[in-house]
Structure 1
Amino acid sequence: MGRTNIGIVLNGVTGRMGLRQHLLRSVLAIRQDGGLPLSDGSVLWPEPVLVGRSEAKLRDIAERHGLTDWTTDLPAALARPDVQVYFDAQVTSARVKALQMAIDAGKHIYTEKPVAETLEQAIDLARLADAAGVKHGVVQDKLYLPGLRKLARLVRSGFFGQVLSVRGEFGYWVFEGDWQAAQRPSWNYRAADGGGIVLDMFPHWHYVLEQLFGPVRTVTARAATHIEKRWDEEGAAYDATADDAAYGIFELDGGIIAQINSSWAVRVNREELVEFQVDGTQGSAVAGLHHCRIQPRAATPKPVWDPDVPTTQRFREQWQEVPDNDTFPNGFRAQWEQFLRYVAEDEPYAGDLWAGARGVQVAELGLRSSREGRRLEIPELDR
């Protein structure tokens, strides 16, 4: 069978995630492996069109990776008949306008999250895409992590029995930027630019909880700005106006309680930068980016509380490693392949703009919960 080209506008490739995960480790990696095999024996060949605001940065990226198709003119790129897909990895504040332009141009949509800064904008985008008849998807990379895939396998197998609770810890210390450069862009800490850890991470936690354990029905959250002064990429001091930590409680169907802490102002004392502990009647698991460890009911130790006697138990040694039993590709690439098959072959795809809107909804309600100091129910979205 032959090869079918699919033009993809990649907007935001001058940023860290857009460049490393989406261009290099996904789209170009697919090309390096000969394209994406389809069910009829043909191959889908991605043709990237790089888009951004800086000619110099785009030219440098293109030259370093053997590409020639780049532009700072997004409308011109979207007008091209050889382009079928628009991908957005810009800063959140620039995303809605670009997605609207792409939908109006009849392009299929794939985008980083959050899809918008407000729920109203996110719903409008989803409705607009549905009305235009274009296919749409939102990045849900955490579901493709090896540790989370092992955790999903445990859920499907019935390992936990009745799931009782989920506890998540995410974060690391992001340097302020004065004596060491920050590991994240400065816009993350400015509310006016769409920054904040709630808007960034609550959409992640929503799709992880929703797809692994069930619908999320309520949220209670406390957001905080622990570090109030930071320094930007040019070394200039600025006031941090966005939240850099959030402490959330989510109630799911079946009485499951999830507690997830997110922070860019925490020092790591765990195996990985994110870990989820799931406790059930028949067993427990701790999953991170790559590893997953379990403790079944029959092998659960029997600790006894005695503050006067030092414990001799080594609790972390009492867990069993879940084997890989599979090959786990880069999670961003795996979802790119799934989305491209959805476009080319209409394969099932769950993470659409409506899923993205539900993530924005949880973030918006989380911020409101923090302001008002109360638990909020999460209503169904009106399509």
Structure 2
Amino acid sequence: MNGVTGRMGYRQHLLRSILPIREQGGVTLPDGSRVQVEPILVGRNEAKLADLAAKHGISEYTTDLDGIVHAEDTDIVFDAAMTNLRPQTLSKAMKAGKHVYTEKPTAETLAEAIELAKLRDETGVTAGVVHDKLYLPGLVKLRRLVDEGFFGRILSLRGEFGYWVFEGETQPAQRPSWNYRAEDGGGMTTDMFCHWNYVLEGILGTVKTVNAQTITHIPTRWDEQGKPYDATADDAAYGIFEMATPDGDPVVAQINSSWAVRVYRDELVEFQIDGTHGSAVAGLFKCVSQQRSNTPKPVWNPDLPVTESFREQWTDVPANAELENGFKAQWEEFLRDVVAGREHRFDLLSAARGVQLAELGLQSSSEGRRLDVPEITL
């Protein structure tokens, strides 16, 4: 597990995924048998690795990434380190015959991302890319409504994501400083458009065009040592995406993403789908819906205060199943695919499409125009 001293690698992948899988005795396979996991911690700071290993009863850790990738008893290489180092790590692992599981984006450029997908085809290893949001309870419920035809003909999707990330001057920032330096692979578009691509694909269909506006709202931030630095990467991205459902129906999706916004909604990310027969709003956990037959008939009147509570007019969508942590759920699915020797449904090609959307989003903003999203073929 490379990059476990970072926030995402530690909290979501080690603490909330791999360790619980280990503690439950491994992953149950279709025949009833189990496959157990044993993490090996990898990073650049040996002292931090030693502390994590001691804290969680992990027997092995190393700063020698190359050595552990080529070790005989290494089966899977997971990467959550900096984006600009990822292609080299994943390439090295696949060439060594190791299965790979990785955070996003898989590369800084589409060309690199496609090369990784081609290498997976050549080596035949199982490769998985974290698509955690599709496993979250809120989006699982939203997808179920789509599958059951709840919406009728789907018209649009609106997404709101973000929160205020402190500049680091008077209060420490909640995100690492490299996120705001383009030269280190940072930026809202690079970070989040790869997420929005798989969310849109996983819930609605294929992204056909993108029209984006990116901006750096906060030009100066302070790093982990309290030193000011120029924020060279965008900290907000506003995108409009034309889509097509599997039936060919056109859908307009618009998603606002910002690290310079204060939250006035129930969750840090929310998606609303509107259709001819109903609408639904989903966050990470909650999902509410409103059917056509239950839709009120509001009338615009700026002369009188609103007396009805619009939020109370929606109905909770039940889970109807026990839904685990999204990161853990995908890890278990990936591990079953590794044991079965099959491809993971969220592979390096799907990751390449995410990198493509981010690249096109930045280009769209730079050129001030809408761009087509070509199909990627290997």
Q: What residue is the counterpart of 1:327 in the other structure?
A: 322
Does 1:270 find its partner at 2:247?
no
Alignment length (residue pairs): 374
- For the aligned residue pairs, the C-alpha RMSD in angstroms reads 0.9
Q: What residue is the counterpart of 1:41 in the other structure?
A: 32
Could you tell me which of 167, 192, 208 is aligned with 1:176?
167
Q: Which amino acid aligns with 1:366?
A: G
Q: What residue is the counterpart of 2:200 in the other structure?
A: 209
Does 1:298 find its partner at 2:259?
no
- Deviations for 1:27-48, whole angstroms, at most 9, x for unmatched residues? 1110111111111222101111
Q: What residue is the counterpart of 1:148 in the other structure?
A: 139
Is the alpha carbon distance of 1:246 and 1:312 closer, same or farther for their aligned partners in structure 2, counting shifts above 3 Å?
same
Q: What residue is the counterpart of 1:31 in the other structure?
A: 22
Structure 1 ranges of 4+ moved more than 3 A:
none
Structure 1 residue 93: Cα displacement: 1.1
Listed as ranges, the gaps of 5+ residues in structure 2 are none
* Paired residues of 2:138 and 2:282 also in contact (CA < 8 A): yes
Structure 1 residue 346: Cα displacement: 3.9
- Deviations for 1:70-110, whole angstroms, at most 9, x for unmatched residues? 11111110111111111100011111111111111110111
Q: What residue is the counterpart of 1:103 in the other structure?
A: 94
Aligned counterparts of 2:15 and 2:71: Cα–Cα separation in 1: 23
Q: What residue is the counterpart of 2:180 in the other structure?
A: 189
Structure 1 residue 324: Cα displacement: 2.0
Q: What residue is the counterpart of 2:334 in the other structure?
A: 339
| Secondary structure of 2:36's aligned partner | strand
- Deviations for 1:122-163, whole angstroms, at most 9, x for unmatched residues? 000110111011111100000011100010110111000000
Aligned counterparts of 2:66 and 2:243: Cα–Cα separation in 1: 42
Could you tell me which of 345, 358, 370 is aligned with 1:375?
370
Structure 1 residue 348: Cα displacement: 6.1
Does 1:229 find its partner at 2:220?
yes
Q: What residue is the counterpart of 2:356 in the other structure?
A: 361
Aligned counterparts of 1:80 and 1:241: Cα–Cα separation in 2: 39
Structure 1 residue 347: Cα displacement: 5.6
Give TM-score, length-normalised by structure 1: 0.96
Aligned counterparts of 1:311 and 1:265: Cα–Cα separation in 2: 29
* Paired residues of 2:127 and 2:344 also in contact (CA < 8 A): no
Does 1:250 find its partner at 2:245?
no
Q: What residue is the counterpart of 1:199 in the other structure?
A: 190
Listed as ranges, the gaps of 5+ residues in structure 1 are 1-9
- Deviations for 1:268-309, whole angstroms, at most 9, x for unmatched residues? 000100000100000000000110010100000001111112
Aligned counterparts of 2:191 and 2:99: Cα–Cα separation in 1: 23
Q: Which amino acid aligns with 2:86?
A: R
Structure 1 residue 49: Cα displacement: 1.2
Could you tell me which of 70, 79, 86 is aligned with 2:70?
79
Q: Which amino acid aligns with 1:87?
A: F
Q: What residue is the counterpart of 1:121 in the other structure?
A: 112
- Deviations for 1:219-262, whole angstroms, at most 9, x for unmatched residues? 00000000000001111111100000000001101210000000
Aligned counterparts of 1:301 and 1:62: Cα–Cα separation in 2: 56
Structure 1 residue 313: Cα displacement: 1.5
Structure 1 residue 211: Cα displacement: 1.3
Aligned counterparts of 1:141 and 1:85: Cα–Cα separation in 2: 19
Give TM-score, length-normalised by structure 2: 0.98
Is the alpha carbon distance of 1:188 and 1:219 closer, same or farther for their aligned partners in structure 2, counting shifts above 3 Å?
same
| Secondary structure of 1:169's aligned partner | strand
| Secondary structure of 1:46's aligned partner | coil
Could you tell me which of 349, 369, 377 is aligned with 2:344?
349
Aligned counterparts of 1:209 and 1:203: Cα–Cα separation in 2: 10
Structure 1 residue 360: Cα displacement: 0.2
Percentage identity across paired residues of the two chains: 63
Q: What residue is the counterpart of 1:59 in the other structure?
A: 50
Q: What residue is the counterpart of 1:312 in the other structure?
A: 307
| Secondary structure of 2:202's aligned partner | helix
Aligned counterparts of 2:343 and 2:321: Cα–Cα separation in 1: 22
Tell which deviates more after alignment, 19-28 or 357-366: 19-28
Q: What residue is the counterpart of 1:220 in the other structure?
A: 211
| Secondary structure of 2:274's aligned partner | strand
